[in-house]
Amino acid sequence: MVLCDERFAITFDQSVSDRGGLVIEAHADVRREVTGLGVPLGAIGVFERPPVRDVNDLCASARRIVLLDCVDNPSNVGSIARSAAALGWDALVLDSTSSDPLARRALRVSMGTTFRVGFARTDDLGTLIDRLNRDGVTTISLTPRRDSGPVENLSEIQNLQERVAIVLGSERQGVRAEITERCSRAVRIEMAEEVDSLNVATAAAIACWALR
């Protein structure tokens, strides 16, 4: 169902109806109250969530995979999904503590691109990484640790036929040490000496571009 103003009602009516949905035109005061934000958004949609993908099936068919370890900020998850979609990555796997990629803030930041990237959940990220390693996937932990190699040295695995998975961690702790230890390699993004880390969404965009 889509609740919207007259302009969007005309725009969306046919496409929403073709998909079995309903378009309702409503006054700005109604739309403002529905959002609870004090802002009368031009269009508000309520949709049935797609079924959750099986993580093993998703990873088996993907060539470029983003794995999230404790990334619980929905804005970061949405931004990561947007970068992944824009740069040709085809799977997003979230551990049980990471934010919902279909949360309102996540979807808003992603500009809807979350629906272009297959996503799934895992209750055991370490075991999944072990499985990916056995399947010949190059698993890469993104970390600021000084003993890791610079991300620009990964040119040897930029062959598009090779399968790659990158792991990104939370703003607070980064990728957990036990997860990094299970990856094929660890890499860092070189930064100025006075700065110790990047926002995880920014780091994701750089890494996805480097291995696109």
CATH code assigned at 62: 3.40.1280.10
In a domain, 35, yes or no: yes
Tokens 């969530």 map to which residue?
49
- 32 and 60 housed in the same domain: no
pLDDT at 126: 97
In a domain, 10, yes or no: yes
- 37 and 83 housed in the same domain: no
pLDDT, averaged per 10 consecutive residues of the chain (212 residues), comes to 91 90 92 82 85 93 96 96 95 96 92 91 97 95 75 58 89 90 88 81 91 80
Report pTM: 0.85
pLDDT at 51: 85
Do residues 78 and 114 lie in contact, with contact meaning Cβ atoms separated by under 8 Å?
yes
- 22 and 66 housed in the same domain: no
- 25 and 107 housed in the same domain: no
Q: Please give the Cα distance from 40 to 33 (Å, whole number).
A: 8
pLDDT at 172: 81
- Token pair, residue 37, equals 């934000």
- 64 and 157 housed in the same domain: yes
- 63 and 85 housed in the same domain: yes
pLDDT at 156: 58
Determine the structural domain holding residue 24 and report its residue range.
Answer: 2-45
| First-last CA distance in the chain | 36
* Of 6, 77, 80, 17, residue with least CA distance to 43: 6
- 31 and 68 housed in the same domain: no
Q: Please give the Cα distance from 84 to 65 (Å, whole number).
A: 9
Q: Cα–Cα–Cα angle for 53, 55, 56, nearest 5°?
A: 120
In a domain, 50, yes or no: no
- 36 and 119 housed in the same domain: no
Q: Please give the Cα distance from 154 to 7 (Å, whole number).
A: 49
In a domain, 134, yes or no: yes
HSE-up of residue 44 (Cα within 13 Å, Cβ side)? 18
The total of structural domains in the chain comes to 2
- 129 and 30 housed in the same domain: no
- 173 and 76 housed in the same domain: yes
Sequence letter at residue 90: D
